[in-house]
Chains A and B, each alone.
Chain A
Amino acid sequence: MMSSSPLNLRRAIIWIGRLLLGGMFLYAGYSKLFLPTMHPHPPIGIALAMFALQVDSYQLLSPRAVNFVSHTLPFAEIALGLLLILGWQLRVWATLTTLLIVGFFAAVVHSYAAGLQINCGCFANSEPLTIMTVIRDGLLAVLAVLMTVFAFMEARSPHPWSAPEKA
Protein backbone atom coordinates (compact mmCIF):
# COMPACT_ATOMS: atom_id res chain seq x y z
CA MET A 1 0.00 0.00 0.00
CA MET A 2 1.22 3.52 -0.81
CA SER A 3 0.39 4.82 2.63
CA SER A 4 2.70 2.29 4.26
CA SER A 5 5.59 2.95 1.88
CA PRO A 6 8.48 4.85 3.46
CA LEU A 7 8.83 6.82 0.21
CA ASN A 8 5.47 8.54 -0.13
CA LEU A 9 5.25 12.15 -1.33
CA ARG A 10 4.95 13.61 2.15
CA ARG A 11 8.12 11.99 3.42
CA ALA A 12 9.96 12.69 0.19
CA ILE A 13 9.23 16.41 0.51
CA ILE A 14 10.30 16.41 4.15
CA TRP A 15 13.60 14.76 3.17
CA ILE A 16 14.16 17.04 0.19
CA GLY A 17 13.38 20.07 2.34
CA ARG A 18 15.70 18.95 5.11
CA LEU A 19 18.61 18.18 2.79
CA LEU A 20 18.18 21.07 0.36
CA LEU A 21 17.32 23.80 2.84
CA GLY A 22 19.69 22.42 5.49
CA GLY A 23 22.58 22.24 3.01
CA MET A 24 21.76 25.65 1.60
CA PHE A 25 21.63 27.25 5.06
CA LEU A 26 24.92 25.62 6.03
CA TYR A 27 26.62 26.94 2.91
CA ALA A 28 24.99 30.39 3.23
CA GLY A 29 26.22 30.80 6.82
CA TYR A 30 29.66 29.41 6.02
CA SER A 31 30.10 31.69 2.99
CA LYS A 32 29.14 34.79 4.97
CA LEU A 33 31.66 34.01 7.69
CA PHE A 34 34.59 32.86 5.58
CA LEU A 35 34.07 34.55 2.18
CA PRO A 36 35.33 31.47 0.30
CA THR A 37 35.46 33.42 -2.97
CA MET A 38 38.22 35.68 -1.65
CA HIS A 39 41.85 34.67 -1.30
CA PRO A 40 43.38 35.06 1.16
CA HIS A 41 40.24 34.84 3.29
CA PRO A 42 39.66 38.05 5.26
CA PRO A 43 39.16 37.74 9.04
CA ILE A 44 35.63 36.96 10.23
CA GLY A 45 35.25 40.51 11.60
CA ILE A 46 35.72 41.96 8.12
CA ALA A 47 33.45 39.31 6.57
CA LEU A 48 30.67 40.23 8.99
CA ALA A 49 31.17 43.96 8.40
CA MET A 50 31.02 43.26 4.66
CA PHE A 51 27.79 41.30 5.15
CA ALA A 52 26.42 44.23 7.16
CA LEU A 53 26.89 46.42 4.06
CA GLN A 54 24.84 43.96 2.01
CA VAL A 55 22.06 43.87 4.63
CA ASP A 56 22.13 47.67 4.81
CA SER A 57 21.79 48.01 1.04
CA TYR A 58 18.23 46.62 1.33
CA GLN A 59 17.36 49.87 3.15
CA LEU A 60 14.87 48.11 5.41
CA LEU A 61 16.57 48.26 8.80
CA SER A 62 18.16 50.83 11.08
CA PRO A 63 21.98 50.64 11.44
CA ARG A 64 21.55 49.05 14.88
CA ALA A 65 19.23 46.38 13.47
CA VAL A 66 21.58 45.86 10.51
CA ASN A 67 24.42 45.13 12.93
CA PHE A 68 22.30 42.72 14.93
CA VAL A 69 21.13 40.81 11.84
CA SER A 70 24.54 40.69 10.18
CA HIS A 71 26.29 39.46 13.31
CA THR A 72 23.73 36.77 14.20
CA LEU A 73 22.28 35.54 10.89
CA PRO A 74 25.33 33.58 9.62
CA PHE A 75 25.56 31.64 12.91
CA ALA A 76 21.79 31.08 12.96
CA GLU A 77 21.92 29.77 9.39
CA ILE A 78 24.64 27.27 10.26
CA ALA A 79 22.77 26.11 13.38
CA LEU A 80 19.47 25.78 11.52
CA GLY A 81 21.16 23.96 8.65
CA LEU A 82 22.69 21.41 11.01
CA LEU A 83 19.47 20.95 12.97
CA LEU A 84 17.43 20.43 9.80
CA ILE A 85 19.86 17.81 8.53
CA LEU A 86 19.92 16.05 11.89
CA GLY A 87 16.12 16.12 12.03
CA TRP A 88 15.99 16.55 15.79
CA GLN A 89 12.88 18.44 16.93
CA LEU A 90 12.13 18.89 13.24
CA ARG A 91 8.83 20.70 13.69
CA VAL A 92 10.44 23.45 15.78
CA TRP A 93 13.39 24.08 13.45
CA ALA A 94 11.32 23.66 10.29
CA THR A 95 8.95 26.33 11.59
CA LEU A 96 11.83 28.69 12.35
CA THR A 97 13.38 27.99 8.95
CA THR A 98 10.09 28.77 7.26
CA LEU A 99 9.74 32.06 9.12
CA LEU A 100 13.29 33.00 8.13
CA ILE A 101 12.85 32.08 4.46
CA VAL A 102 9.52 33.86 4.22
CA GLY A 103 11.26 36.90 5.76
CA PHE A 104 14.01 36.69 3.13
CA PHE A 105 11.38 36.35 0.41
CA ALA A 106 9.51 39.42 1.66
CA ALA A 107 12.74 41.46 1.74
CA VAL A 108 13.70 40.37 -1.77
CA VAL A 109 10.22 41.10 -3.17
CA HIS A 110 10.14 44.52 -1.49
CA SER A 111 13.59 45.49 -2.83
CA TYR A 112 12.84 44.18 -6.31
CA ALA A 113 9.52 46.04 -6.40
CA ALA A 114 11.25 49.21 -5.20
CA GLY A 115 13.69 48.91 -8.10
CA LEU A 116 16.78 48.72 -5.89
CA GLN A 117 19.87 47.81 -7.89
CA ILE A 118 21.65 45.76 -5.25
CA ASN A 119 23.27 42.41 -4.69
CA CYS A 120 21.24 39.66 -3.08
CA GLY A 121 23.77 39.00 -0.31
CA CYS A 122 22.40 35.48 -0.02
CA PHE A 123 25.73 33.64 -0.39
CA ALA A 124 28.26 36.46 0.09
CA ASN A 125 29.00 36.69 -3.62
CA SER A 126 28.25 39.28 -6.29
CA GLU A 127 24.85 37.88 -7.27
CA PRO A 128 22.57 40.75 -8.39
CA LEU A 129 19.01 40.79 -7.07
CA THR A 130 16.94 39.94 -10.15
CA ILE A 131 13.59 38.35 -10.93
CA MET A 132 15.40 34.99 -10.83
CA THR A 133 16.31 35.67 -7.19
CA VAL A 134 12.67 36.43 -6.43
CA ILE A 135 11.50 33.21 -8.13
CA ARG A 136 14.18 31.11 -6.42
CA ASP A 137 13.35 32.50 -2.98
CA GLY A 138 9.65 32.02 -3.65
CA LEU A 139 10.18 28.36 -4.53
CA LEU A 140 12.33 27.85 -1.43
CA ALA A 141 9.61 29.47 0.70
CA VAL A 142 7.03 27.06 -0.78
CA LEU A 143 9.32 24.11 -0.06
CA ALA A 144 9.88 25.31 3.51
CA VAL A 145 6.14 25.71 4.13
CA LEU A 146 5.40 22.26 2.69
CA MET A 147 8.20 20.66 4.71
CA THR A 148 6.88 22.23 7.91
CA VAL A 149 3.24 21.33 7.29
CA PHE A 150 4.18 17.76 6.37
CA ALA A 151 6.48 17.50 9.40
CA PHE A 152 3.51 18.30 11.63
CA MET A 153 1.29 15.84 9.73
CA GLU A 154 3.96 13.16 9.96
CA ALA A 155 4.29 13.66 13.71
CA ARG A 156 0.54 13.10 14.11
CA SER A 157 0.50 9.91 12.10
CA PRO A 158 4.08 8.61 11.89
CA HIS A 159 5.00 5.84 9.52
CA PRO A 160 5.09 2.45 11.27
CA TRP A 161 8.75 2.05 10.33
CA SER A 162 9.74 5.37 11.90
CA ALA A 163 10.66 5.78 15.52
CA PRO A 164 8.05 7.94 17.27
CA GLU A 165 9.18 11.54 17.49
CA LYS A 166 8.94 13.27 20.84
CA ALA A 167 8.62 16.97 20.09
Chain B
Amino acid sequence: MNRRAILTGAVFLVLVSAGLGVSRAFRPAVVSAASPARIPQAAASLSDVDPHEAFGSKSAPISMEVFSDFQCPACKTLFMTTNRPLMDNYVSTGKIYLIHRDFPLPMHAHSRVAAQYSRAAAQIGKLEPVQEVLFQNQEKWEQSGDVDGTVASVLAPAEMAKVRALVKGGTLEAAINKDYALGQGYHVNQTPTTIIHSNGQTYPVVGVVSYDVLHQFIDQLLSQK
Protein backbone atom coordinates (compact mmCIF):
# COMPACT_ATOMS: atom_id res chain seq x y z
CA MET B 1 0.00 0.00 0.00
CA ASN B 2 1.55 3.31 -0.99
CA ARG B 3 1.75 6.44 1.14
CA ARG B 4 -0.98 8.23 -0.82
CA ALA B 5 -3.52 5.48 -0.10
CA ILE B 6 -2.63 5.46 3.61
CA LEU B 7 -2.91 9.25 3.79
CA THR B 8 -6.26 9.23 2.00
CA GLY B 9 -7.60 6.54 4.33
CA ALA B 10 -6.45 8.47 7.39
CA VAL B 11 -8.06 11.67 6.13
CA PHE B 12 -11.28 9.81 5.41
CA LEU B 13 -11.41 8.36 8.92
CA VAL B 14 -10.75 11.77 10.45
CA LEU B 15 -13.56 13.30 8.38
CA VAL B 16 -16.04 10.55 9.25
CA SER B 17 -15.21 11.02 12.95
CA ALA B 18 -15.54 14.78 12.57
CA GLY B 19 -18.87 14.33 10.78
CA LEU B 20 -20.22 12.19 13.61
CA GLY B 21 -18.98 14.76 16.10
CA VAL B 22 -20.64 17.57 14.18
CA SER B 23 -23.89 15.61 14.01
CA ARG B 24 -23.86 15.27 17.80
CA ALA B 25 -23.07 18.95 18.18
CA PHE B 26 -26.02 19.91 15.97
CA ARG B 27 -28.48 17.51 17.65
CA PRO B 28 -30.73 20.09 19.34
CA ALA B 29 -31.18 22.08 16.13
CA VAL B 30 -34.18 20.13 14.85
CA VAL B 31 -37.21 19.89 17.09
CA SER B 32 -37.62 16.30 18.16
CA ALA B 33 -40.51 15.18 20.30
CA ALA B 34 -38.37 12.38 21.64
CA SER B 35 -35.71 14.78 22.85
CA PRO B 36 -36.16 15.02 26.64
CA ALA B 37 -36.14 18.82 26.62
CA ARG B 38 -38.88 18.94 24.01
CA ILE B 39 -41.32 16.28 25.18
CA PRO B 40 -43.29 18.42 27.65
CA GLN B 41 -43.68 21.21 25.13
CA ALA B 42 -44.79 19.03 22.22
CA ALA B 43 -47.14 17.05 24.44
CA ALA B 44 -48.52 20.21 26.02
CA SER B 45 -49.07 21.93 22.68
CA LEU B 46 -51.17 19.04 21.38
CA SER B 47 -53.14 18.40 24.56
CA ASP B 48 -53.92 22.10 24.92
CA VAL B 49 -55.68 22.77 21.62
CA ASP B 50 -58.68 25.04 21.38
CA PRO B 51 -61.09 22.83 19.38
CA HIS B 52 -62.50 25.95 17.72
CA GLU B 53 -59.06 26.58 16.17
CA ALA B 54 -58.64 23.07 14.78
CA PHE B 55 -60.04 20.98 11.96
CA GLY B 56 -60.50 17.22 11.80
CA SER B 57 -60.30 14.46 14.34
CA LYS B 58 -58.12 14.82 17.40
CA SER B 59 -57.33 11.10 17.14
CA ALA B 60 -55.91 11.46 13.61
CA PRO B 61 -52.49 9.78 13.17
CA ILE B 62 -50.88 13.08 12.12
CA SER B 63 -51.26 16.50 13.74
CA MET B 64 -50.19 19.68 12.00
CA GLU B 65 -49.79 23.02 13.72
CA VAL B 66 -49.70 25.87 11.21
CA PHE B 67 -48.12 29.04 12.63
CA SER B 68 -49.55 31.73 10.42
CA ASP B 69 -49.93 35.50 10.04
CA PHE B 70 -52.98 36.75 8.11
CA GLN B 71 -51.00 39.62 6.59
CA CYS B 72 -48.13 37.47 5.34
CA PRO B 73 -48.28 36.78 1.56
CA ALA B 74 -46.56 33.41 1.89
CA CYS B 75 -49.18 32.35 4.47
CA LYS B 76 -51.86 33.24 1.95
CA THR B 77 -50.15 31.10 -0.70
CA LEU B 78 -49.83 28.16 1.69
CA PHE B 79 -53.48 28.46 2.71
CA MET B 80 -54.86 28.80 -0.81
CA THR B 81 -52.70 26.29 -2.68
CA THR B 82 -51.69 23.68 -0.11
CA ASN B 83 -53.83 23.64 3.00
CA ARG B 84 -57.16 23.80 1.20
CA PRO B 85 -56.59 20.58 -0.79
CA LEU B 86 -55.08 19.09 2.37
CA MET B 87 -58.35 19.80 4.20
CA ASP B 88 -60.33 18.06 1.46
CA ASN B 89 -58.13 15.00 1.13
CA TYR B 90 -56.59 14.39 4.54
CA VAL B 91 -58.38 16.38 7.24
CA SER B 92 -61.91 15.46 6.21
CA THR B 93 -60.87 11.80 5.94
CA GLY B 94 -59.56 11.71 9.51
CA LYS B 95 -55.88 11.40 8.64
CA ILE B 96 -54.73 14.85 9.77
CA TYR B 97 -55.67 17.04 12.71
CA LEU B 98 -55.00 20.57 11.45
CA ILE B 99 -54.44 23.25 14.09
CA HIS B 100 -54.33 26.96 13.30
CA ARG B 101 -51.80 28.87 15.43
CA ASP B 102 -51.68 32.65 15.41
CA PHE B 103 -48.21 34.07 14.93
CA PRO B 104 -48.79 37.77 14.06
CA LEU B 105 -45.46 39.28 13.15
CA PRO B 106 -44.77 42.73 14.67
CA MET B 107 -43.86 44.19 11.26
CA HIS B 108 -47.45 43.71 10.01
CA ALA B 109 -49.69 46.55 11.19
CA HIS B 110 -53.05 44.76 10.98
CA SER B 111 -52.19 41.10 11.45
CA ARG B 112 -52.92 41.08 15.19
CA VAL B 113 -56.33 42.65 14.61
CA ALA B 114 -57.02 40.06 11.91
CA ALA B 115 -56.00 37.31 14.33
CA GLN B 116 -58.46 38.69 16.91
CA TYR B 117 -61.33 38.63 14.40
CA SER B 118 -60.37 35.14 13.27
CA ARG B 119 -60.31 33.89 16.88
CA ALA B 120 -63.65 35.53 17.60
CA ALA B 121 -65.13 33.91 14.49
CA ALA B 122 -63.71 30.57 15.61
CA GLN B 123 -65.60 30.91 18.90
CA ILE B 124 -68.89 30.98 16.98
CA GLY B 125 -67.84 28.16 14.62
CA LYS B 126 -67.00 30.35 11.64
CA LEU B 127 -63.23 30.01 11.45
CA GLU B 128 -63.11 28.52 7.96
CA PRO B 129 -65.06 31.24 6.06
CA VAL B 130 -63.31 34.02 7.97
CA GLN B 131 -59.84 32.59 7.33
CA GLU B 132 -60.78 32.24 3.69
CA VAL B 133 -62.03 35.81 3.29
CA LEU B 134 -59.08 37.29 5.18
CA PHE B 135 -56.52 35.51 3.02
CA GLN B 136 -58.44 36.01 -0.20
CA ASN B 137 -58.73 39.78 0.35
CA GLN B 138 -55.37 40.23 2.04
CA GLU B 139 -54.14 42.97 -0.31
CA LYS B 140 -57.33 45.02 0.17
CA TRP B 141 -57.53 45.14 3.98
CA GLU B 142 -53.75 45.41 4.21
CA GLN B 143 -54.07 48.75 2.39
CA SER B 144 -57.26 49.99 4.03
CA GLY B 145 -56.92 48.39 7.46
CA ASP B 146 -60.60 47.44 7.21
CA VAL B 147 -60.47 44.00 8.80
CA ASP B 148 -63.94 44.46 10.28
CA GLY B 149 -65.55 45.13 6.91
CA THR B 150 -63.77 42.18 5.32
CA VAL B 151 -64.98 39.77 7.99
CA ALA B 152 -68.49 41.25 7.93
CA SER B 153 -68.76 40.38 4.22
CA VAL B 154 -69.01 36.64 5.02
CA LEU B 155 -70.99 36.67 8.27
CA ALA B 156 -74.63 37.31 9.02
CA PRO B 157 -75.30 40.54 10.97
CA ALA B 158 -76.09 38.61 14.16
CA GLU B 159 -72.85 36.60 13.85
CA MET B 160 -70.88 39.76 13.18
CA ALA B 161 -72.32 41.37 16.29
CA LYS B 162 -71.07 38.43 18.37
CA VAL B 163 -67.65 38.63 16.73
CA ARG B 164 -67.37 42.37 17.44
CA ALA B 165 -68.39 41.81 21.04
CA LEU B 166 -65.71 39.14 21.47
CA VAL B 167 -63.06 41.36 19.89
CA LYS B 168 -64.03 44.29 22.11
CA GLY B 169 -64.07 42.00 25.15
CA GLY B 170 -60.28 41.87 24.96
CA THR B 171 -60.04 38.25 26.07
CA LEU B 172 -58.64 37.02 22.76
CA GLU B 173 -55.26 38.68 23.17
CA ALA B 174 -54.19 36.15 25.79
CA ALA B 175 -54.93 33.23 23.46
CA ILE B 176 -52.99 34.88 20.62
CA ASN B 177 -50.05 35.54 22.92
CA LYS B 178 -50.18 31.92 24.05
CA ASP B 179 -49.92 30.71 20.43
CA TYR B 180 -47.08 33.15 19.82
CA ALA B 181 -45.19 31.92 22.88
CA LEU B 182 -45.75 28.35 21.78
CA GLY B 183 -44.25 29.19 18.39
CA GLN B 184 -41.23 30.76 20.03
CA GLY B 185 -40.83 27.56 22.02
CA TYR B 186 -40.60 25.73 18.69
CA HIS B 187 -38.05 28.36 17.50
CA VAL B 188 -40.55 29.68 14.96
CA ASN B 189 -39.24 33.01 13.69
CA GLN B 190 -40.90 33.23 10.31
CA THR B 191 -44.28 32.47 8.83
CA PRO B 192 -45.67 30.20 7.66
CA THR B 193 -44.09 27.47 9.74
CA THR B 194 -45.80 24.11 9.95
CA ILE B 195 -44.97 21.70 12.74
CA ILE B 196 -45.94 18.15 11.83
CA HIS B 197 -46.31 15.57 14.61
CA SER B 198 -46.35 11.91 13.74
CA ASN B 199 -45.35 8.73 15.51
CA GLY B 200 -43.62 10.58 18.35
CA GLN B 201 -41.53 12.68 15.98
CA THR B 202 -41.83 16.38 15.19
CA TYR B 203 -40.98 17.71 11.74
CA PRO B 204 -40.74 21.48 11.21
CA VAL B 205 -41.53 22.72 7.71
CA VAL B 206 -40.65 26.36 7.05
CA GLY B 207 -42.13 28.37 4.20
CA VAL B 208 -44.50 27.52 1.40
CA VAL B 209 -44.51 23.97 0.12
CA SER B 210 -46.64 22.69 -2.72
CA TYR B 211 -49.46 20.24 -2.08
CA ASP B 212 -47.95 17.72 -4.53
CA VAL B 213 -44.76 17.44 -2.48
CA LEU B 214 -46.39 17.72 0.95
CA HIS B 215 -48.87 14.93 0.31
CA GLN B 216 -46.00 12.56 -0.54
CA PHE B 217 -44.42 13.34 2.82
CA ILE B 218 -47.76 12.81 4.55
CA ASP B 219 -48.24 9.48 2.73
CA GLN B 220 -44.75 8.40 3.85
CA LEU B 221 -45.64 9.22 7.44
CA LEU B 222 -48.96 7.39 7.18
CA SER B 223 -47.24 4.34 5.73
CA GLN B 224 -45.09 4.12 8.88
CA LYS B 225 -48.13 3.76 11.11
User: Chain A: residues with CB nearer than 8 A to chain B?
Assistant: 19, 22-23, 26-27, 30-31, 35-40, 42-43, 45-46, 49-50, 52-53, 56-57, 59, 63, 66-67, 82, 85-87, 116-119, 123-128, 163
User: Chain B: residues with CB nearer than 8 A to chain A?
Assistant: 4, 8, 11-12, 15-16, 18-19, 22-24, 26-32, 34-35, 74, 187, 189-191, 201, 203-210, 212-214, 216-217, 220-221, 223-224
Chain B residues whose C-beta falls within 8 Å of the C-beta of A125 in the assembled complex: 26, 29-30
Contact B26 A118 (CB under 8 A): no
Interchain residue pairs with CB less than 8 A apart (18):
A22-B15, A23-B18, A27-B22, A30-B19, A30-B23, A36-B26, A37-B23, A37-B28, A45-B223, A52-B216, A53-B209, A116-B207, A117-B191, A118-B207, A119-B206, A123-B26, A124-B30, A126-B31
B13 to chain A, nearest CB (A): 11
Contact B32 A39 (CB under 8 A): yes
Contact B190 A128 (CB under 8 A): yes
**Among A23, A38, A49, A67, contact of B201 (Cβ-Cβ < 8 Å):** A38
Chain B residues whose C-beta falls within 8 Å of the C-beta of A49 in the assembled complex: 216-217, 220
Contact A117 B207 (CB under 8 A): yes
Contact A56 B11 (CB under 8 A): no
Contact A27 B32 (CB under 8 A): no
Chain B residues whose C-beta falls within 8 Å of the C-beta of A163 in the assembled complex: 4
CA distance A19 to B32 in the complex (A): 31
CA distance A157 to B30 in the complex (A): 47
3 closest residue pairs by CB, A with B: A36-B23, A117-B190, A118-B207
Chain B residues whose C-beta falls within 8 Å of the C-beta of A82 in the assembled complex: 12
